[in-house]
Amino acid sequence: MDETTQKLLRALSDTGSQMPDAPSSQKSATRTAAAKREDGKHDRWGILLVELAYLLNVALRDDHFGEDAKAAEDNLRQLSRILDELDQMAVHDGWVRFDYRGRHNPEIDPRADYVIHFGTITVDMPGVVSLIGRMGIRLKHLEGRLGKSFETLADHGFNQFWVKLPGESLKAMAALRTSLQVISGFNQAVENKSAIVLINNERSYSQFPIYNERRQPDVNLTLLAAVNQMDQGTVAKLLDQVADPKMADSGQLPIIDAIFKIKRLRPGLIRPPIQVTVDPVFGFHPASSAITSDGDLQKKAPELKADPSVLKDRVARFIKGKFGKSPQTASRILKSVYGTDYRRINSDGLGQRLKLVTNLLDSMQKTPAARDISAEVLRRIQARMDQVPDEILGDFVVTEDELKFWAEGAETTVSKVDKDLLKIIDHTKSRSIARRQRRISLTPDKDYAAPNFEAIASDFGISPADMAAIIRLFKKCFDSQGNFLRSAFEKKVSEFATYKKKVFEILWEFLKETSRRSNRLPLLYSLQLLVKETKQPIQAIKLLLAHFLQDPGTVTYADRNAIMLVNQFMRSYIKESDMENELTPDEVLRIRGGLDNNAVNYVIWKINAAQIVFLEKMLSIRKRLIEAMEPETAIEPLLPAGFLLALEREVHVLLGLVGGRTGFEVLRSALNVYGNPAAHIYHLTESSNLLEPLLLHLGAVIRSYARNAQKSDLALLAEVKLRHAQFRALHEDLRYHALVRQTFRLIDERLKF
């Protein structure tokens, strides 16, 4: 295991195990209330700036931001809320500035070495790491979000990216929306010589890129034109009135500054709320820049000015020249770059194409005359990766220099993948997760009218007619008081199954938003019945694990339902008596046969392949549990300790069923914590009220660990057994003592063999 994995495992073993360090002095243990409040405010501003960066990242990564009205409105609503909160800071000039530093810290990826300035607050990658250290692992997701946001700015080539707070002005907010649409679609419009489609208040109009006096596309002038609805001719006349347009080479945001410094030009002109500078080192497109081994950004290829058809012809001729001895291979490579069937591709097919593209890029890098067209190949791959279904992307894992994916029941590895290609895949996966998070919420209590079906269907990649049919079928499973009728679902399960490609995913979204327990339990049962009918347990498991892992810093009520369903779908048959429970019975861990081997192999692979994300998620759950049991230390609203114990228990049951190296190490760390009555978790404020659930939790850990333990692993169980008397001493209740005896019999059963 690598160093990061080992650190996470140590943290998991320490969390809940070690007592807090005693203060060395009263001075080090106590800080003034005023200082704490000040730090809290500072961290709050920092968190808001990270969230702002992430929302901007979501918009900038969507080449057609605004065309999906629901997603755009949701993004802008969140942006508006954060900008309003930032505006409450006492001292600021109204601008949030993202500035590139580059190699400021050798431990930071140069593409992520930006700093955010707002008022007296600065935010960068080391600062966010420190914030997480102060506030807890539950905020770990902020590090990833900020890193991806900074990389997006680098991908666009921005040396500076400044955003003006709109205040309470609706016009200023509308200008911000327009500016985000311009920025997101600018590069593509330049490349395709097309217009950017701008949508505002359900009205659409086109904005072509504006060219400066050097006949180069200028993003700042395009922003100016868009927010003022001007064309190229009008902007050209405006530039003619600027005293010295050649000053464009001498300063930051020069053209915009020059225009707005002239009093006669200012009246009636709206200044764009976004202003940027483009560093020529970066270039306009992610494929035009690369990072050298020592961290320097260098130009990978000159900007391509040729017509797309000319570039395609050059790529085709290169492929024919290098791979022409095998016409079939040459044809497959060409299809990998220019194919139009990526929306229908499967995991194995995508893996094969990425292997071919890796070979092609390697050949181009070894051929000096062809290096410039490698950028064309990367651009085409980016466009095609955006078409790959989310469920296929979920089975691809990017590591330092290789790509792993799951297909046909086994792992395939593509070694020595081009770094720019790996970045494209990684960024596409991030956008895929962002799309899922922006989906329209499906709630059982809401009535859906016909106009909504098209937008919802787009979220799930099915036809509006199929979406309407599924929702109408689902609504027929409720009575007039909003109660879910299991019997009604059972009668319609075969009808649901006709839409087996997406129906489970859609009904899972409904389950996530089902708050009434009286409805949740029968719906859980119904989803199990549906999978039994469709005979697609692995597809369901993939979806549920993707949900569990998509945001490792967050813990939700839906996480437990996801893992409980995975535990059910691991079995080659579904036992009827288990279907009405919201917890997996411990007896499942006694099963040796009756498991779906394909499902077991997939879960082991997924946990091992995504082990860092998985361990971060487990650490988040444990941290939230500690906070719930020591509520006076909490900062965020608490989830119930009983729920968090049940969630962690479900994961331990899953790991007990499947095993695997990562899973067994997690079980070992859990046994070290819950198997020690001196551990911190047994001595928190709420621990005395939760001894019975904690002991039941220990029982599940023992069973899961014992199920996968080798002879050399039994020493830890024997060590736990020696603590029998210490566990009894935690409480005098006779019922509790009986539970202790019952729990320790589980160790005796395993040690006999």
DSSP 707: H
For residue 292, give both structure tokens: 């050298």
Same domain, 248 and 315: no
Which residues of the chain fall below pLDDT 70?
Answer: 1, 18-41, 66-67, 69, 90-91, 102-108, 201-203, 242-255, 257, 261, 263, 266, 279-307, 437-438, 449-452, 573-582, 633-637, 753
Same domain, 342 and 235: no
Q: What is the pLDDT of residue 102?
A: 63
- CA distances 26 to 30, 474, 642, Å, are 6, 61, 35
Q: Tell me, yes or no, whether 484 lies in a domain.
A: no
Same domain, 331 and 241: no
Q: What is the pLDDT of residue 693?
A: 92
Q: Tell me, yes or no, whether 221 lies in a domain.
A: yes
Question: Sheet containing 274-278: which strands, arranged edge to edge?
Answer: 121-123, 114-118, 95-100, 158-164, 274-278
Q: Tell me, yes or no, whether 380 lies in a domain.
A: yes
Q: Tell me, yes or no, whether 397 lies in a domain.
A: yes
> Which pTM value belongs to this model?
0.66
Same domain, 237 and 323: no
Q: How many CB atoms lie within 10 A of CB 517?
A: 8
The domain boundary residue, chosen from 228, 262, 278: 278
Q: Tell me, yes or no, whether 289 lies in a domain.
A: no
Q: Tell me, yes or no, whether 78 lies in a domain.
A: yes
Domain that holds residue 407: 308-428
How many folded domains does the chain comprise?
3
In the chain, the amino acid numbered 669 is S
CB 370 within 8 A of CB 318: yes
The domain boundary residue, chosen from 261, 278, 295: 278
Alpha carbon distance 412, 609 (integer Å): 12
Q: Tell me, yes or no, whether 674 lies in a domain.
A: yes
Same domain, 247 and 328: no
The domain boundary residue, chosen from 428, 458, 478: 428
Same domain, 544 and 413: no
Which residues does 471 contact at the CB level (< 8 Å), separation at least 6?
Answer: 442, 448, 453, 456, 506
Same domain, 591 and 677: yes
Report the run of H or E that residue 425 belongs to, with start and end. helix 419-437
Q: Tell me, yes or no, whether 317 lies in a domain.
A: yes
Alpha carbon distance 21, 215 (integer Å): 65
DSSP 339: -
Same domain, 647 and 730: yes
Average pLDDT, the chain: 82
- CA distances 248 to 81, 161, 234, 243, 494, Å, are 35, 17, 19, 12, 67
Same domain, 255 and 332: no
Same domain, 630 and 734: yes
Same domain, 139 and 55: yes
Same domain, 274 and 314: no
